Amino acid sequence: MENDNNTSPLPILLLVDDDINILQALKRALHSVQATIIDFNSPLAALEYCQVNQPDVIISDQQMPEMNGCELLEHIKKRWPNSQRIILSAYQDFDLISAAFSSGVVEKYICKPWINKELKFVVDKALSRQKNISVSATNDGNVPVTGLINFHGMVAEDESMHELFDSIRHASSTNAPIFITGETGTGKELVAKACHYESYHKDQPFIAVNCANFSENLMESQLFGHTKGAFTGAISNQEGLFSAAKQGSLFLDEITTLSKPLQAKLLRVVQEREFSPLGTNEVIKFHAQIISASSNSIGQSVINGDFREDLYYRLNVITMALPPLRERGGDLVHIASFFLKKYNKVEYKHFKKFSRNAIQIICSYDWPGNIRQLENVIHGMVILNSGEQITSEMIIKSLSTTVRSYSAIQPTSPIENIKNIYSAAKPQVSQNTAIQPLWQVEKQAIEAAVLHCQGNIPKAAALLEVSPSTIYRKKLNW
Ligand SMILES: Nc1ncnc2c1ncn2[C@@H]1O[C@H](COP(=O)(O)OP(=O)(O)OP(=O)(O)O)[C@@H](O)[C@H]1O
């Protein structure tokens, strides 16, 4: 079969479901896509077809008698690794689908009953991605995206962040729940927004709520809404966030702080996709995507019995883990420069760069409050100083003003930390001390710095303003 302008054949869209009615409904929903649709009501027959024919995009049901959808897609992936594979399932088989997602067998997940608009969006995207793959395959393969980028306000060069951005793009066509982990201030809310604004429902609302900010009762009425008189003080009907999110995204931050009774109610919403406002038995359909996040270990909360295991699995279909700032390599300096430019503009300042020592201080500090703390430090510093160059003294002063807010996270205060850095780097020799050979003074300085940096030689080298190889070389001679 040929397409309209008779240049290249239409791509093949393969549909597999043991229920003929579902196959018919899928074909109706997808009648306008630019592809040749082939359908099978048996996964074995579909597999046989795929031995000789290359499908471009496959949509398979999960629950089928002869073989489940994930198994079928795994076979197809082995035969045709470049195909785009989509699984169709009701809210069951979470573990299987999550595993297939993580191993790359499944690229997209569509919930049954599907929304036609969503389905069409997913398939169009998969077809266009498939077209790009074919083009780049003829041009010697895909060139991975590298370098410094700004993805929905997130500045990153580090590979781990680029992988995260890829996961966000991959998740763009699913309505399945997303769970974001990461220490405080690592950018979880930005990731949640990026998931929303990359998704097919980006025109719908993005609603964020921090579960830690409300008491149990208030949180319940915030989420579910209430009718007039539902409880003392309910003087009028109030729409809840489940309803306000419409077909968009609802971001539940610090989800582990939800009380047990509310967890049980949320489970119903996630499973049945419906809820009732307080004070009424009316059942309202819930259409939004749930994105939740926690800066505490949710696994630990489950082990402690503080968080329901079944809810955890329902919310955690797609996991996105944000690394702490101290593990993002060169990103620290890039993000610091990004904030310097940002606050130069906001505060009408003209800083052009960081001094070498300032960069060393930034790189050797652990940033327990992560990017939020870095942002506060740079903002404070820009406000309080002027000139063209940021010096280490400016950083230290500004760090000391943020110390109180982060002392709960970090047992040693940043100022102690910095003082240690200096005393390690510049050992004081008292008047009474006998003069020591230079190699011994050097050895002590190096050992103090390495100890301070908990054995991290590159960090110690940065503090001592030498290259790591100098430390390794000197250690060999002691
Ligand atoms: N990669 C990044 N590049 C630039 N700015 C960032 C980046 N990541 C986060 N930020 C900024 O850092 C601050 C904290 O981010 P965000 O509120 O998303 O963190 P969080 O993990 O949700 O924090 P909390 O756990 O406290 O809720 C925000 O001002 C955000 O804009």
Among 28-42, 85-99, 309-323, the minimum mean pLDDT is found in 85-99
Q: Give the whole-angstrom CA distance, residue 221 versus residue 227.
A: 10
Closest ligand 1 atom to residue 374 Cα is 12
Distance 308 CA to ligand 1 centre (A): 27
Q: Give the whole-angstrom CA distance, residue 428 versus residue 244.
A: 63
Task: List the chain domain ranges.
Answer: 12-138, 158-323, 325-425, 427-478
Ligand 1, atom 9, lies closest to the CA of: 187
Distance 437 CA to ligand 1 centre (A): 49
In this prediction, what percent of the chain has a pLDDT beyond 70?
83
Q: Is the dihedral of CA 169, 171, 174, 180 positive or negative?
A: negative
Among 30-39, 58-67, 107-116, the minimum mean pLDDT is found in 107-116
| 370 φψ region: left (φ > 0), alpha (ψ -120 to 50), beta (else) | left
Higher pLDDT, 118 or 314: 314
Distance 373 CA to ligand 1 centre (A): 9
Q: Kind and range of the H or E element at 49?
A: helix 43-52
CA dihedral 197, 194, 176, 22 (to 10 degrees): 40
User: May I ask the CATH architecture of the domain 427-478?
Assistant: Orthogonal Bundle (1.10)
Closest ligand 1 atom to residue 331 Cα is 1
Among 95-109, 164-178, 273-287, 324-338, the minimum mean pLDDT is found in 95-109
Q: Give the whole-angstrom CA distance, residue 199 versus residue 288.
A: 12
Pocket of ligand 1 (CB under 6 A): 153-156, 182, 184-190, 253, 295, 335, 338, 371-372, 375
CA dihedral 429, 434, 440, 442 (to 10 degrees): 20
pLDDT at 8: 54
Higher pLDDT, 402 or 389: 389
Ligand 1, atom 1, lies closest to the CA of: 154
Which band of pLDDT confidence, cut at 50, 70 and 90, is reported for residue 324?
Answer: very high
Q: Give the whole-angstrom CA distance, residue 344 versus residue 354.
A: 13
Taking Cα atoms as reference points, which of 442, 460, 443 lies closest to residue 451? 460
The answer to whether 12-138 and 158-323 have equal CATH topology is yes
Closest ligand 1 atom to residue 322 Cα is 21
Q: Give the whole-angstrom CA distance, residue 330 versus residue 278.
A: 50
Higher pLDDT, 473 or 83: 83
Residue 411 has pLDDT above 50, yes or no: no
Residue 445 has pLDDT above 90, yes or no: no
Closest ligand 1 atom to residue 182 Cα is 21
Higher pLDDT, 52 or 131: 52
Q: Give the whole-angstrom CA distance, residue 103 versus residue 317.
A: 13
Which superfamily does CATH assign the domain made up of 12-138 to? Response regulator (3.40.50.2300)
pLDDT at 277: 93
> How many other C-beta atoms lie within 10 A of the C-beta of residue 421?
22
Ligand 1, atom 2, lies closest to the CA of: 154
Q: Give the whole-angstrom CA distance, residue 442 versus residue 474.
A: 9
Question: Ligand 1 pocket: which of 190, 325, 367 to mutate (most atoms <8 Å of CB)?
Answer: 190
Q: Judge contact between 121 and 173, C-beta under 8 A.
A: yes
Residue 378 has pLDDT above 70, yes or no: yes
Higher pLDDT, 144 or 348: 348
pLDDT tens-digit readout, 38-57:
999 999 999 988 887 889 99
pLDDT at 328: 86
The maximal CA–CA distance of the chain, rounded, in angstroms, is: 94
Distance 185 CA to ligand 1 centre (A): 5
Which band of pLDDT confidence, cut at 50, 70 and 90, is reported for residue 436?
Answer: low
pLDDT at 464: 78
Taking Cα atoms as reference points, which of 297, 293, 250, 295 lies closest to residue 269? 250
Question: Ligand 1 pocket: which of 151, 162, 183, 189 to mutate (most atoms <8 Å of CB)?
Answer: 189
pLDDT at 133: 55
- Average pLDDT, integer, range 135-162: 65
pLDDT tens-digit readout, 247-286:
999 999 999 999 999 999 999 999 999 999 998 999 999 9
User: For the domain 158-323, what is the CATH code?
Assistant: 3.40.50.300
Closest ligand 1 atom to residue 161 Cα is 1
pLDDT at 347: 93
pLDDT at 6: 42
Measured in whole angstroms, the distance separating CA 238 from the mean position of its chain's CA atoms is 32
Question: Ligand 1 pocket: which of 256, 343, 371, 373 to mutate (most atoms <8 Å of CB)?
Answer: 371
pLDDT tens-digit readout, 56-68:
999 999 989 889 9
Distance 184 CA to ligand 1 centre (A): 8
Distance 154 CA to ligand 1 centre (A): 8
pLDDT at 97: 72
3-state secondary structure of 341: helix
- Average pLDDT, integer, range 13-27: 94
Q: Judge contact between 50 and 85, C-beta under 8 A.
A: no
Q: Is the peptide bond before 11 cis (omega within 30 degrees of 0)?
A: no
Which option is the CATH number for 325-425: 3.40.50.1820, 3.90.180.10, 1.10.8.60, 3.20.10.10? 1.10.8.60
Mention every residue, 6+ apart, whose C-beta is less than 8 A from residue 396: 361, 415, 418
